[in-house]
Structure 1
Amino acid sequence: MTPLKIGACLAPHEIADHRAWLFDDARDIELQGFSTHKDLTTEFEDRISAAKEALHGFEGRLGIHGPYEGLDMDNKDPELRPLITARYLKALEAAERVGARQMVLHSPFNRWYAWNRLNKPNYWETKLARIHDVMLPVVKAAETAGITLVIENIVDVDPASRRAMVDSFDTDAIALSIDTGHAHLARRMSGAPPVDYFVRDAGDQLRHVHLQDLDGHADRHWAPGEGEIHWQEVFRALSECASDPHLVLELRRKSDIPQGFAYLKSLGLVE
């Protein structure tokens, strides 16, 4: 199994602490700091300027994490859906201006859906119609900008539902993201499959991965090696993926990035 190159998720002001590791090998970076209301309104231009300054000289692949607080692409209120679309479009503008090629958004699927999808007539079709109402303008804008929207599992139980949603748009402008910790937490909480199954289900739709470890009780965002995830099998599945996804450590303590990288490297999984 060939070791894979990984990078990290960082806010602009945190990049300098890991600059040599990231820049010298052109590792993947996912920018944080474009998620909240103030990030995309009153502080928007300051965020753009800070990102451009921090990334000066960077030649690797770049993505951003889009907004999610209080936003659901499956919102049932028709008056609120245009507001969610507008917030996503503003974040997409940020991605384009800083030179990002990906934007992470959160999945609208959960345990309730997994258990009730066959309980009501046309449950899937109705849900998908709401999602398309919110997302079609965003997907079209992403196509124009050459940016891929990657949909991250949050409390997803069945990875096939998110994959089917992505497939329904029939465009390369929307694809799949996997958060390893979220997948493992869903396994412990809701009987979801193991992390490597999420990877294998995604197949060539997988374009982005958050690497984080946890204990199965809470969304810890620990460094790999501190929790329960079987990393060898996760990377075995990743090595079979032909889509070359962005691979980024998403850790609560950014100071643990060297530790997480060293652990995975000691297993021969990363370089």
Structure 2
Amino acid sequence: MESGNQKGRTNPADWKIATSWGLRSEFSPADMKASGLSGVELVLEYRNLEEIPSDEKRQSYEKAVQEINDQQLELWSIHLPFTRELDISVTDPVHRRAVIEAQAELLRMAAPWGARHAVIHPSYEPIPEEEREARIAACREALRELSTIAASVGIKLAAECLPRTCLANNSEELLRILEDAPECGICCDVNHLYQETPESFIRKMGNRLTTVHMSDFDGIDEKHWMPGKGVIQWQEVLDALASIGYDGPFLFEVFPADPESLAACYNELLDGYNRRNK
């Protein structure tokens, strides 16, 4: 069953091209601009709770945001940190409270940067089957609170579908996790979908899908290859996104990547899509 009402169909030719980018990336915002990219997801790489208040790291990210702005790129999203210690699904209430407060602090930090979206992982891994229900309950609580906090500072939180034993490793479980968090959107990472095709997932998410991570894989485990190298049916993915009215950027999460290759890849995907739909 699809989630929510569908918006009017969009045209992939109108979508902007964006990429995931962090302080350790080998290319710069200037490289992105020169290659025809127009959007960025800034990855916040924090490892533990003690790092979150770090003024030095905050200043590094503020400098990066200034570089993005100087190139007239859109800071489409931030990616909140995902480590074992910063897992929002931990069942210990004291630990979970600390994680929620730390992630909330990062949302407030990012709000003045103008980012419209924030991607969050529903869990770390591995998750033993006997813990799954308790972890789902903890995650639901955390996402309900964090999505409200994000909305209060002008950011749309998006829970990302995840692979393997992680929470939200299929559409049904992700929608169940978000039942009590109506303000929370969804990030579709096509590399993380092993139990269903990306196009099926996208159509089930409907209007709740607010951002994407695009790369290819072998159908067995995530690889973050360039689209076209693996098993994903990209014309079907583009058509599914268009059918639900998706109007965000085609946001690559490819490792390693260079901006020129990303722009060329999307143009090739778009050519194939247009030929199919003549």
Task: Give the TM-score taking structure 2 as reference length.
Answer: 0.78
Partner in structure 2 of residue 158 of structure 1? 170
Instruction: Find the partner of 1:50 among 51, 60, 63.
Output: 63
Alpha-carbon shift at residue 220 of structure 1 (Å):
1.8
The verdict on how the C-alpha distance between 1:6 and 1:35 changes in structure 2, with shifts beyond 3 A counting, is: farther
Q: Is the 8 A contact 2:40 2:73 kept in 1?
A: no
In 1, Cα distance between equivalents of 2:22 and 2:83: 17
After superposition, the CA RMSD in angstroms is: 2.9
Alpha-carbon shift at residue 150 of structure 1 (Å):
0.6
Is 1:138 paired with 2:129?
A: no
Is 1:268 paired with 2:270?
A: yes
Q: Is the 8 A contact 1:150 1:177 kept in 2?
A: yes
Unaligned runs of 5+ in 2: 1-10
Partner in structure 1 of residue 96 of structure 2? 81
What's the CA shift string for 1:105-132, capped at 9, x where partnerless? 013498978xx6xx99xx86x5554224
Partner in structure 1 of residue 80 of structure 2? 66
The verdict on how the C-alpha distance between 1:139 and 1:266 changes in structure 2, with shifts beyond 3 A counting, is: closer
The verdict on how the C-alpha distance between 1:264 and 1:204 changes in structure 2, with shifts beyond 3 A counting, is: same
Q: Give the percent of matched residue pairs that are identical in Structure 1 and Structure 2.
A: 23
Letter in 1 for 2:80: G
Matches within 5 A, 1:92-171: 92-108=107-123, 127-155=135-163, 156-171=168-183
Partner in structure 2 of residue 244 of structure 1? 247
Runs of 4+ in 1 over 4 A off after TM superposition: 109-113
The SS at the match of 1:207 is strand
In 1, Cα distance between equivalents of 2:34 and 2:204: 35
What's the CA shift string for 1:120-157, capped at 9, x where partnerless? 9xx86x55542243334322221211101111111244
Q: Is the 8 A contact 2:89 2:139 kept in 1?
A: yes
Q: Is the 8 A contact 1:178 1:210 kept in 2?
A: yes
The verdict on how the C-alpha distance between 1:182 and 1:129 changes in structure 2, with shifts beyond 3 A counting, is: closer
In 1, Cα distance between equivalents of 2:33 and 2:89: 38
The verdict on how the C-alpha distance between 1:49 and 1:2 changes in structure 2, with shifts beyond 3 A counting, is: closer
Q: Is the 8 A contact 2:12 2:242 kept in 1?
A: yes
- Report 1 or 2 for greater relative contact order, CA contacts < 8 Å, sequence distance ≥ 6: 2
Is 1:199 paired with 2:199?
A: no
The SS at the match of 1:254 is coil
How many residue pairs were aligned? 251
Q: Is the 8 A contact 1:9 1:30 kept in 2?
A: yes
Q: Is the 8 A contact 2:80 2:106 kept in 1?
A: yes
In 1, Cα distance between equivalents of 2:143 and 2:12: 37
Alpha-carbon shift at residue 265 of structure 1 (Å):
1.5
Unaligned runs of 5+ in 1: none
Letter in 1 for 2:52: L
Alpha-carbon shift at residue 79 of structure 1 (Å):
1.9
